[in-house]
Structure 1
Amino acid sequence: MAAPAEGTPCWADATFTDLEGAKSFYGDVLGWTFAEGAAEYGGYTQALSGGKAVAAVVPPMPGQPPVAPGWCLYLASPDVEATARRIREAGGELVLEPMKVGGFGSMLLARDPGGVPFGVWQAGTHEGFERRGEPGSYCWAEVYTREPGRSDAFFPAVFPFGVRRMDDGGIDFKVFTLGGASVLGRMEMTPDFPPELPPYVGVYFAVEDCDAAVARTTARGGKVVFGPLDSPFGRFAALIDPQGAAFAVLDTGRTTGEMPALSEA
């Protein structure tokens, strides 16, 4: 499998204080099973769907300050050092400087100028998602920000993104594209979002039944931010797991309405 093109969402992971609780929750909600944690990498544990790697969960690093649980989306890069330079030049912040992860690849963690966290991954032997777009795996992501103009300028300055505007009832929604294909959304956080919820990248996981996934989430102590809602892209809901990590579920097989038009931003 060839490494994904620069800027492509290629991996997602999350740190949880209660790792076993996270495994139990996502195993129930998304049907994941889990590989053996890698002790040499702090217990980093891959989540599997159909035997394929689709994400990872990890406990906090010993001796490090507490980290609020949250999913981190990684965007592909052929050269993390070069990407780090562009992040700085565009006004972003490097949270973790570029570092090698054995033979698996190299990574960094960053925030855009509005505080949106994300990761960058330069593939080695680990090229990213082994399954995507199928139930139990990654299918989409959106940048949720209270400073949309800063995100709109930042991400295309760091990655080779085009920017399109979605013409849909006055909603401030943009789409970042690669080679004409939509790869990442950008949504303004309106007052409907809980004020304590920081900017984030919402990672969507595909499910066979959105309503059933929401019911499993709330039964396990998770919360609904909004949804379930019907859309031309599928029926979806934005959720928060019991430890406070935001994520979303999408049933792509249940679509409603016409696809909204995209125009030049």
Structure 2
Amino acid sequence: MTDTTIAPNHPCWVELSSPDVESARTFYGSLFGWEFTEPGPMGFGVKAVRDGRVVAGISPQPAEAPAGQPAFWSVYFRVAELTDFLARVDTGGGQAMMAIPEFDGTAGVALVADPAGTAFGVLEYEDDRGLTGVDVTGAACWFELHTKDPAVHEFYGAVFDWEISPVSDTDEFRYSTFALPDTGTPRGGILDTSNVGIPAHWESYIQVEDADAVAGRVRELGGDWLAAPHDSTHGRVGRFIDSQNAAFTVIQPR
């Protein structure tokens, strides 16, 4: 997928919530070759653009955010009808933490927690405000839930109509992929983090041409390594924090 119209129930947006948008622009612009335009899809912040395609967003943290809160990345999913989706969330044991059914006359947005409390965003829209670049260099190519509660599989399958398929089911590595029935193509995964000290969260993988070069550049720009680049089944993967302590992952596909 390169230039794309994203169908409902697919990941449609990735956004950094930052205490210093200008510093974030400098870091990611230098690291991934992103350029920026205003505003973002919710009327504030900026869109990140690579080779003419919208690949991410950066927004300022709200004024009520605790002092010293680090930056963090969020994943949003497109939904066909926000009110109906939130009803499914409630039935499935999740909750809407914030919902704006119509914020600019053409779109709605909500921040939702799954039954284990892990947050993600949803957007209802009929225009082109979502990502237009996916699965290309400098753009998100994989979307992953880290969770300590395997029961959330049922929740996500119900609210998004995903087919969730186990890949590995050992105590050392428990992992599943998710796909929509109409495509059958996995768009992301669910990793059981019960045995590791990673907080539950959604994240995206950014596709790069050279993971080792990116790793070196991260430290030059004031970030650091969480996991050095290493080979995996699908490519060379590295996990880092940016200059404002937001964690992110890159992959150099095979």
Query: What TM-score, normalized to structure 1?
Result: 0.85
Q: Structure 2, unaligned stretches of length 5 or more?
A: none
Letter of the 1:183 partner, please give it: R
Equivalent residue number for residue 16 of structure 1: 18
2:182 maps to 1:182 = no
Q: Secondary structure at the match of 1:100?
A: coil
CA deviations on 1:36-71 (whole Å, 9 max, x unpaired) are 347x93x41111101221111011234x33365211
Give 1:131 shift.
0.9
Pairing of 1:149-188 with structure 2 (within 5 A):
149-167=150-168, 171-179=173-181, 180-188=184-192
| Matched positions, count | 246
Measure the CA separation in 1 of the matches of 2:228 and 2:208: 14
Amino acid aligned to 2:201: Y
CA distance in 2, matches of 1:104, 1:230: 43
Structure 1 residue runs of 5 or longer lacking an equivalent are: 256-265
Contact 1:96 1:108 in 2 (8 A): yes
The answer to whether 1:145 aligns with 2:143 is: no
Aligned counterpart, 2:29: 27
Deviation at 1:186, TM superposition (A): 0.5
- Residues 211, 226 of structure 1: CA spacing in aligned structure 2 closer, same or farther, 3 A cutoff? same
The percent identity for this pair of structures is 28
How do residues 1-265 of structure 1 correspond to structure 2 at under 5 angstroms?
3-37=5-39, 41=43, 43-62=44-63, 64-66=64-66, 68-147=70-149, 149-167=150-168, 171-179=173-181, 180-193=184-197, 197-252=198-253, 255=254
CA distance in structure 2 between the partners assigned to 1:152 and 1:131 by the alignment:
27
Cα distance in 2, alignment partners of residues 25 and 104 from structure 1: 32
Letter paired with 2:37:
A
Sort the Cα spacing of 1:134 and 1:3 in 2 relative to 1 into closer, same or farther, 3 A. Answer: closer
Does the aligned pair in 2 maintain the 1:98–1:106 contact within 8 Å? yes
2:91 alignment partner AA: E
Q: Secondary structure at the match of 1:128?
A: coil
Opposite residue 152 of structure 2, the aligned amino acid is S
- SS of the aligned residue for 1:182 comes to coil
Query: Within 2, Cα distance between the matches of 1:2 and 1:216?
Result: 29
Give 3-state SS (helix, strand or coil) of 1:136's partner.
coil
The 1:23/1:250 distance shift into structure 2, 3 A limit, reads: same
Deviations 1:215-256 (A, max 9, x none): 11122232322231212311111222222222111111xx2x
Deviations 1:152-174 (A, max 9, x none): 12111211101101138751001
Cα distance in 2 between the residues matched to 1:236 and 1:24: 23
Determine if contact 2:224/2:242 at 8 Å carries over to the other structure.
yes
Residues 79 and 2 (structure 1 numbering): CA distance in 2 closer, same or farther, change over 3 Å?
farther
Moved more, 83-92 or 162-171: 162-171
TM-score, normalised by the number of residues in structure 2: 0.88
Distance in 2 (alpha carbons) for counterparts of 1:208 and 1:110: 33
The letter for the 2-side match of 1:185 is G
